[in-house]
């Protein structure tokens, strides 16, 4: 790991101002649980690090009128321990539960996990099915990015140089149910072979809304739109979940790597999609009952 | 002293040894004495390798080859030299002695010289003033080489004209065999025969502390602080590579963050590598392997391909076994030949088999080497033997526990090598106890059916593991004890503490033998300054490795008994020394304090220091015939494992483990339980997830993100250890070894439980969810 320049801020505006005129290669750093590892291995190079981990205004989980606003610097452990998240966005809580290990969860931030843009990112999937919006800052400008179009490839996002995700907004859901499932090669502290989040809304036993997102099966976390379309208007029964799950291969494109083979990943994407849809649907019934 | 007096003293000491062997009223032995290093560990006070780093030292990183096979022409440090803080580069040219660190054969250089045989092989060191600069510089070293053909598959390598070592005629580095009776006849007489081929992979030791060594030039020569498993061997290797005498080299150990056999070969290699640099630069040098260095470059558990055939009568009596064992050695053999030999000598499992034919071969490939790892050839051969035994039982509808009880070795049985077991075995009793504790018979009937996507299974496996080195390899130990004139005791042993608790065990042995509390004794280990007790390997540390120390203690105890008899005015055989008091066996009112007894010895010309030596009696193994004496004794284990399998994902959840052990006297129950628990988890890793993956010789998973070891969430409930204790004459107070054995049966028991749960026989390991899922989707039962 090469020696780097380091500067730290405890407020957002000066940090944004500082990076405006940088000519060297710089990176924002928060928890560093991805970045430091990548720098040590030589996968990422940066000449300077801009530490925003102490920017208090970007940490915290707040309930607003029709949404919940999560500061991007909230740690995964913050998410995990938030009763609000547990009540309103259980799939995000479940993703935080199986995210790395305790020490990492204490450092890693939600914004960092999203911006690192790993195809396997655990929290990206619940954010996809909850249709999160990212509030990004660039200098004095601010914009809202729907998470759908945010990921562009492994480690790639639509952010511009110097742009920073400051908040993640989760719109309040109606009475639907949601779930997150992860398969790895051991029970904890593991990168996913396949991970899945699902949101299912039902009315009178019929699916009114279905959202399904899968990880580790494409260059980015993906929505399985064919499966979603299939389910809407159909009875929320196992047979339909099986058929919907079978359609996920239209939207995924897994590779073979050190963690698993592509064929196995396709099979597991279907298995986990089925289980997640079924679980989300059962929860939807429970919450509407 | 005249010779006869010495002989008399030895005889008397032997009488004592015998008394202790059959004693049952011990004060310290058999008790869970707290670990002597426990508090310091908890408080973070123990000094591990990195804790010895100081700023006046130069720091070194290895320069690794980035090709699998090549002729090395030049190691160019020009670019590395531009790094601020860079000091020097070390290569084979700087070796002043023999560039040779081979363990069993002289086939391995300290630094590659002329030929590169695997990707990750050390070709030199980059030295700098800081660890960061050394790391950076090591990456900038340029190697000039001509590509040379490589061979990566062991089965191909057997026939290939591409030779890993061109000076040898073949890639087959070593062969072994066992013959008993007439295997063909045995199979003809069998009603059922099962044949399968099993494959296992590289397992990394994954010690939490990677490898390291510090070499410090001294006026006498050189002192090396390192982590290894045999200080005298490290001393010999360093002397060989420097080209000096052994007396000029002193080796000492830092506290060790795990070894599991792995630092036995690499520890001395690092010691020599660091010593070459320190010797050249006349400065202290610290060499540390990074985790990536460690996984890419250091020897691992051997990948195996084992074709195994088992024959039995319809009532479940074993008639014959045939095993064809191919172990992949990688670029160098290290301990490979004796790993192969151990697998060969244990090929039957702990059963009576009238006919056997076992052939083993160790094969070079252009990949990272194999080396000693807890179990030493036994985990893979037991996977094959125990899996086949279960398949056989299924074919004749016999319960797996019953078929084991029916064929188990007992005292007086002839083993697969025709060695007659002269000591108690205890396997049948252990197996019965474990079956009872686990509720075996009920669960075996209840499980094995799918409930939704899940199925439960229960499996059993037995194992045996020979204590001491294999076959004809001589085995001895020595120890030195001095009772100071204040009554406190220093004892010195060349054995090594690597986390297993041996310091505490030896403390107990010395304290019990002298008749004092454990708190009076300090055991100094891990240095070439201490008498050579042999290597701390082969499950011999707490067993034959401690016998020399016990002999020393028995000599001192004799002298103390004699002095006490004078002071008490009673016959020597009526003297008792216990908990620091000497008294008459029957008239206990008059007690002499330990301190007074020691003083009296000092004042009246009785020497209170002694060296003890023990040479293990062995018979002969006939390598030509493939039969004879294999080990002075064996330890035995039975394990029952309960699993749950996700039939869709293939994920195996190990729920509960019932271990049972017959390993002679247990000196410290909590140390033994600690070993068993660690072995269950490490064995689980071997069975389910630990696998160094390679592609064209390149290690793909060089860090703990992708080289997976079990977490606490993967750890099953490990139930109370069941033991059968029968003393063994060549171990202190009757102790055999168990550190390796306790790992051996875990993977086979898990495999058998997975078979019970799913109805499919796993043959390729580790059982990752993907492999199990593939097995359930495409596989067939045998």
DSSP 3-state assignment of A31? coil
Lowest mean pLDDT among A202-216, B15-29, B563-577: B15-29
pLDDT in tens, B519-577: 999 999 999 999 999 999 999 999 999 999 999 999 999 999 999 999 999 999 999 99
Nearest-CB residue to A268 (from B649, B701, B705): B649
Q: Which letter does DSSP use for residue B594 in this model?
A: H
- Tell me which long-range contacts A155-164 makes (C-beta under 8 A, separation of at least 24): A155/A116, A155/A117, A155/A118, A156/A117, A157/A115, A157/A117, A159/A115, A162/A16, A162/A19, A162/A20, A162/A22, A162/A138, A163/A136, A163/A137, A163/A138, A164/A12, A164/A15, A164/A16, A164/A28, A164/A52, A164/A72, A164/A136, A164/A137, A164/A138
Q: Which residue has the higher pLDDT, B2 or B269?
A: B269
> Chain B residues within 8 A (CB-CB) of chain A?
132, 135-136, 648-649, 651, 653, 688-689, 693, 700-701, 705-706, 708, 710-714, 768-770, 773-774, 777
How much of chain B exceeds pLDDT 70, in percent?
Answer: 99
pLDDT in tens, B414-423: 999 999 999 9
Query: How close does chain B come to A99, measured CA to CA in Å?
Result: 13
- Residue B252 pLDDT > 70: yes
Q: Give the pLDDT confidence score for residue A21 in this predicted structure.
A: 86
Mean pLDDT (whole number) for A32-60:
94
> Is B769's CB within 8 Å of A2's CB?
no
Mean pLDDT (whole number) for B462-466:
98
Q: Give the pLDDT confidence score for residue A130 in this predicted structure.
A: 97
The chain A residue lying nearest B695, using CA atoms, is: A258
Give the pLDDT band of residue B16 (cuts 50, 70, 90): confident
Q: Give the pLDDT confidence score for residue B782 in this predicted structure.
A: 35
Radius of gyration of chain A (CA): 19
Give the pLDDT band of residue A110 (cuts 50, 70, 90): very high
Q: Which residue has the higher pLDDT, B1 or B695?
A: B695
Q: Which chain A residues are within 8 Å of B710, Cβ to Cβ?
A: 186
How much of chain A exceeds pLDDT 70, in percent?
Answer: 98
Mean pLDDT (whole number) for B159-172:
97
Query: How close does chain B come to A147, measured CA to CA in Å?
Result: 27
> Is B773's CB within 8 Å of A186's CB?
no
Let me know if B164 is exposed, middle or buried by CB neighbors in 10 A (0-12, 13-18, 19+). buried
Q: Give the pLDDT confidence score for residue B184 in this predicted structure.
A: 98
Give the pLDDT band of residue B780 (cuts 50, 70, 90): very low
pLDDT in tens, B304-321: 999 999 999 999 999 999
- Residue B14 pLDDT > 90: no
Query: How close does chain B come to A7, measured CA to CA in Å?
Result: 21
| Residue B315 to residue B293: CA distance in whole angstroms | 53
Let me know if A30 is exposed, middle or buried by CB neighbors in 10 A (0-12, 13-18, 19+). buried
Q: Give the pLDDT confidence score for residue B6 in this predicted structure.
A: 60
Q: CA B748, B753, B756, B760: dihedral to nearest 10 degrees? A: -60
> Is B653's CB within 8 Å of A187's CB?
yes
Mean pLDDT (whole number) for B87-95:
98
| Residue B668 to residue B546: CA distance in whole angstroms | 14
- Residue B133 pLDDT > 50: yes
Query: How close does chain B come to A216, measured CA to CA in Å?
Result: 15
- Residue B713 pLDDT > 70: yes
| Residue B110 to residue B610: CA distance in whole angstroms | 38
Nearest-CB residue to B711 (from A2, A186, A272): A186
Where is mean pLDDT largest: A225-229, B13-17, B254-258? A225-229
Mean pLDDT (whole number) for A11-35:
95
Backbone φ and ψ for B484, nearest 5 degrees, come out as -70, 160
pLDDT in tens, B581-640: 999 999 999 999 999 999 999 999 999 999 999 999 999 999 999 999 999 999 999 999
Mutate to test the interface with B, among A116, A186, A238, A254 (most CBs of B within 10 A): A186
> Is B712's CB within 8 Å of A188's CB?
yes
- Residue B23 pLDDT > 80: yes
pLDDT in tens, A160-181: 999 999 999 999 977 899 999 9
Neighbours of B14 (CB within 10 A): 12
Mean pLDDT (whole number) for A180-187:
97
- Residue B11 pLDDT > 80: no
- Residue A244 pLDDT > 90: yes
> Is A271's CB within 8 Å of B651's CB?
no
- Residue A230 pLDDT > 70: yes
* Residue B309, H or E segment: strand B304-312
Q: Give the pLDDT confidence score for residue B1 in this predicted structure.
A: 44
Give the pLDDT band of residue A2 (cuts 50, 70, 90): low
Mean pLDDT (whole number) for B35-55:
94
Q: Give the pLDDT confidence score for residue B4 in this predicted structure.
A: 58
Q: Which chain B residues are within 8 Å of A4, Cβ to Cβ?
A: none
Under the phi-then-psi rule, with left for phi > 0, alpha for psi from -120 to 50, and beta for the rest, what region is B541?
alpha
pTM for the complete prediction?
0.97
| Residue B161 to residue B511: CA distance in whole angstroms | 60
The chain B residue lying nearest A264, using CA atoms, is: B770
Give the pLDDT band of residue B15 (cuts 50, 70, 90): confident
Nearest-CB residue to B711 (from A37, A189, A258): A189
> Is B769's CB within 8 Å of A267's CB?
no
Q: Give the pLDDT confidence score for residue A122 in this predicted structure.
A: 98
Nearest-CB residue to A261 (from B706, B770, B777): B770
Q: Give the pLDDT confidence score for residue B654 in this predicted structure.
A: 98
- State the count of interchain CB pairs (< 8 A) between A and B: 52
Nearest-CB residue to A264 (from B712, B714, B773): B773
Query: How close does chain A come to B136, measured CA to CA in Å?
Result: 8
Query: How close does chain A come to B365, measured CA to CA in Å?
Result: 21
- Residue B781 pLDDT > 60: no
Q: Which chain B residues are within 8 Å of A105, Cβ to Cβ?
A: none
How much of chain B exceeds pLDDT 90, in percent?
Answer: 96
| Residue B160 to residue B171: CA distance in whole angstroms | 8
């Amino acid at each position: 790991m090469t020696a780097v320049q380091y500067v730290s801020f405890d407020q957002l505006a000066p940090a944004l101002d500082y990076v405006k005129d940088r000519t060297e290669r710089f990176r924002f750093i928060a928890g560093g649980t991805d970045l430091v590892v990548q720098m040590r291995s030589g996968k990422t190079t940066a000449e300077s690090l801009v530490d925003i981990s102490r920017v208090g205004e970007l940490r915290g989980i707040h309930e607003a009128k029709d949404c919940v606003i999560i500061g991007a610097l909230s740690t995964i452990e913050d998410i995990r321990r938030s009763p609000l998240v547990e009540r309103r966005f259980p799939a995000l809580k479940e993703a935080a539960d199986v995210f790395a290990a305790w020490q990492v969860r204490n450092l890693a931030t939600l914004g960092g996990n999203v911006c690192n843009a790993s195809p396997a990112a655990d929290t990206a999937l619940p954010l996809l099915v909850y249709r999160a919006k990212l509030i990004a800052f660039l200098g004095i400008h601010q914009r809202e990015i729907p998470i759908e179009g945010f990921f562009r490839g492994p480690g790639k996002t639509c952010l511009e140089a110097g742009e920073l995700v400051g908040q993640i907004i989760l719109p309040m859901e109606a009475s639907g149910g949601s779930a997150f499932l992860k398969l790895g090669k051991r029970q904890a502290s593991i990168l996913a072979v396949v991970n899945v989040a699902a949101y299912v809304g039902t009315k009178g036993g019929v699916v009114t809304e279905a959202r399904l997102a899968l990880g580790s099966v494409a260059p980015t976390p993906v929505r399985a739109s064919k499966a979603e379309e299939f389910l809407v208007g159909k009875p929320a029964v196992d047979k339909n979940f099986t058929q919907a799950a079978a359609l996920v291969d239209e939207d995924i494109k897994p590779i073979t790597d050190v963690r698993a083979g592509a064929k196995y990943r396709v099979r597991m994407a279907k298995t986990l999609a089925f289980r997640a849809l079924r679980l989300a649907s059962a929860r939807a019934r429970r919450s509407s009952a | 002293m005249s010779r006869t007096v010495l002989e008399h003293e030895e005889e008397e000491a032997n009488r004592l040894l015998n008394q202790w062997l059959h004693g049952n009223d011990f004060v310290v032995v058999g008790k869970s004495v707290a670990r002597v290093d426990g508090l310091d560990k908890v408080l973070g006070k123990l000094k591990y390798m990195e804790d010895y780093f100081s700023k006046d030292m130069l720091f070194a990183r290895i320069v690794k080859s980035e090709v699998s096979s090549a002729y090395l022409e030049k190691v160019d440090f020009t670019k590395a030299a531009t790094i601020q803080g860079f000091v020097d580069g070390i290569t084979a040219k700087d070796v002043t002695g023999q560039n040779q660190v081979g363990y069993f054969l002289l086939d391995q250089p300290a630094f590659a010289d002329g030929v590169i045989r695997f990707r990750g092989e050390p070709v030199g060191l980059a030295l700098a003033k800081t660890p960061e600069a050394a790391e950076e510089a090591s990456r900038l070293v340029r190697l000039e080489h001509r590509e040379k053909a490589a061979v990566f598959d062991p089965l191909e390598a057997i026939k290939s004209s591409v030779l890993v070592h061109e000076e040898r005629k073949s890639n087959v580095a070593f062969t072994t065999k066992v013959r008993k009776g007439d295997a063909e006849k045995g199979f003809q007489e069998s009603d059922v025969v099962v044949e399968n081929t099993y494959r296992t992979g590289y397992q990394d030791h994954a010690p939490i502390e990677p490898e390291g060594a510090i070499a410090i030039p001294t006026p006498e020569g050189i002192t090396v602080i390192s982590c290894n498993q045999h200080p005298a061997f490290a001393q010999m290797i360093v002397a060989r590579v420097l080209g000096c005498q052994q007396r000029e080299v002193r080796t000492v150990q830092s506290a060790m963050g795990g070894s599991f056999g792995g630092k036995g070969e690499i520890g001395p290699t690092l010691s020599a590598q660091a010593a070459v640099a320190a010797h050249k630069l006349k400065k202290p040098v610290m060499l540390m392997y990074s985790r990536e260095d460690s996984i890419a470059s250091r020897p691992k558990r051997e990948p195996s391909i084992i074709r195994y055939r088992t024959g039995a009568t319809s009532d479940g009596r074993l008639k014959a076994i045939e095993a064809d064992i191919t172990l992949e050695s990688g670029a160098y053999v290290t301990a490979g030949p004796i790993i192969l030999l151990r697998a060969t000598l244990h090929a039957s499992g702990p059963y009576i088999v009238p006919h056997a034919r076992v052939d083993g071969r160790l094969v070079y490939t252009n990949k990272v080497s194999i080396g000693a790892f807890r179990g030493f050839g036994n985990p893979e051969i037991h996977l094959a033997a125990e899996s086949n035994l279960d398949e056989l039982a299924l074919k004749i509808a016999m319960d797996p526990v019953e078929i084991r009880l029916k064929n188990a070795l007992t005292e007086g049985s002839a083993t697969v090598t025709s060695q007659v077991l002269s000591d108690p075995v205890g396997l049948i009793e252990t197996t019965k106890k474990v079956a009872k504790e686990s509720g075996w018979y009920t669960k075996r009937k209840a499980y094995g059916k799918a409930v939704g996507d899940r199925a439960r299974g229960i499996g059993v496996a037995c194992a045996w593991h020979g204590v001491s080195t294999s076959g004809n390899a001589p085995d001895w130990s020595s120890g030195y004890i001095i009772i100071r004139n204040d009554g406190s005791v220093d004892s010195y042993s060349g054995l090594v503490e690597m986390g297993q608790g041996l310091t505490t065990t030896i403390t107990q042995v010395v304290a019990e033998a002298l008749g004092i509390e454990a708190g009076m004794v300090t055991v100094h280990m891990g240095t070439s300054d201490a008498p050579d007790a042999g290597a701390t390997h082969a499950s011999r540390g707490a067993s034959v490795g401690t016998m020399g120390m016990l002999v020393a203690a028995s000599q001192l105890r004799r002298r103390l008994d004699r002095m006490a008899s004078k002071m008490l005015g009673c016959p020597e055989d009526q003297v008792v020394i216990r908990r620091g008091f000497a008294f008459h066996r029957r008239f206990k009112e008059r007690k002499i304090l330990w301190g007074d007894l020691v003083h009296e010895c000092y004042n009246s010309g009785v020497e209170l220091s002694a060296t003890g030596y023990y040479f293990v009696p062995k018979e002969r193994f006939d390598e030509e015939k493939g039969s004879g004496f294999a080990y002075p004794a064996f330890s035995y284990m039975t394990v029952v494992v309960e699993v749950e399998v996700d039939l869709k994902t293939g994920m195996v959840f190990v729920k509960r483990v019932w271990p049972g052990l017959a390993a002679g006297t247990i000196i410290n129950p909590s140390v033994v339980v600690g070993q068993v628990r660690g072995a269950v988890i490490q064995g689980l890793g071997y069975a389910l997830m630990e696998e160094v993956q390679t592609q064209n010789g390149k290690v793909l998973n060089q860090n703990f993100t992708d080289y997976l070891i079990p977490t606490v969430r993967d750890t099953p409930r490990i139930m109370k250890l069941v033991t059968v204790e029968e003393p063994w004459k060549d171990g202190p107070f009757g102790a055999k070894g168990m550190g390796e054995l306790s790992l051996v049966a875990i993977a086979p028991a898990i495999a058998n439980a997975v078979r019970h749960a799913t109805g499919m026989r796993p043959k390729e390991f580790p059982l990752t969810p993907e492999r199990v899922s593939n097995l359930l989707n495409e596989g067939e039962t045998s």
